[in-house]
Structure 1
Amino acid sequence: MDNQTRGLTLVFTGNGKGKTTAALGMAMRAWGQGMKVLVLQFIKGGWKYGELRAAEKLGPAFEMRQMGEGFIRDSGEEGLKAHRAAAQEALVEARRAVQEEDYDMIILDEINYAVNYGLVDLADVLDLIRSKPPRLHLVLTGRNAADEVVDLADLVTEMREVKHPFAAGIPAQKGIEF
């Protein structure tokens, strides 16, 4: 990166669809500019999402890791323990990646959900944001971004659901939701 580059903290939040999609679009743009990108998914796990297949084809400068246990709803107490352990591991991995300064952009996909569900502590996420190197772009996605995260961010976009096909009984569609 040149000396004009200032790493930004960006947040995509809200109840509408498109938070991860916006972050991945930004990641593609960064990758296209020769930047090294890491995507850590805090909730997603187990499914073979289309973005994982695409990332594999982009090579070593675009890395995506599913760190989560999948859907949280109806997990029960034992399930929540597994989700919490996975999210904690993802946070450790995020901290390591930020400290190593090997990436130009790190996306913490669904980290806001992880905070909201109590899987990771807000204070730890705030420390991570504050500790990022000046040149690193850090992107956080997920509903219900904490006010403190919003305050630290340089850019915040809130996706608002206006209409969704699921409400009309249309199931998740390949290439759209996964």
Structure 2
Amino acid sequence: MPQTAPPFSELLANCQRSAVHLEMRDFYDDPDEAPRVAAWKAGHRPDPNDRASWWRPWLDMVSEAVSRGVVIRRARIVSEPVSEYTRYLYDGTFTNIAAGEQVRWLPRRNASDLALPGNDFWCFDDRLVRFGYFSGEGVYLGDEVDDRAEVVKLCASAFEAVWDRAIPHDRYRI
């Protein structure tokens, strides 16, 4: 049964083997991220040699989980030509990879015959799904977790189908 999600940091800290994330939106309106997006629009790019300036505490959580043996994969389904926000994500993805994530991109036109859940999600250890809900304008509205076997199976299968078709970050060009 869906229920309110505990903090993401807790979900990742309790993860033992794998965490997969499927992103299906072309824009997210996150107030915490707005200053980084504005800086990017003004021409700022993260410095690969200045890890201390990268997105914290997210990258620290990822690095810690990966150091414990958790495999973290992120797949992004994107419209092409890509949105300005997707270009922003693309330019900063090297930080996710440096922290230990594996990232792939799937052009939306290549996902038409895939059965996908209606919302972005994280799936932890193939046992728990955390759905994220967003408004039409990309504003985060909340999340919930679901541990029903059929929901977990749907999300895990959908993620693997996307992952199999998606292009690794180092080969994807926008």
Q: Write 1 or 2 for the structure with the bigger share of helix.
A: 1
More strand per residue: 2
Larger RCO (alpha carbons 8 Å, 6+ apart): 1
Length-normalised TM-score, structure 2: 0.32
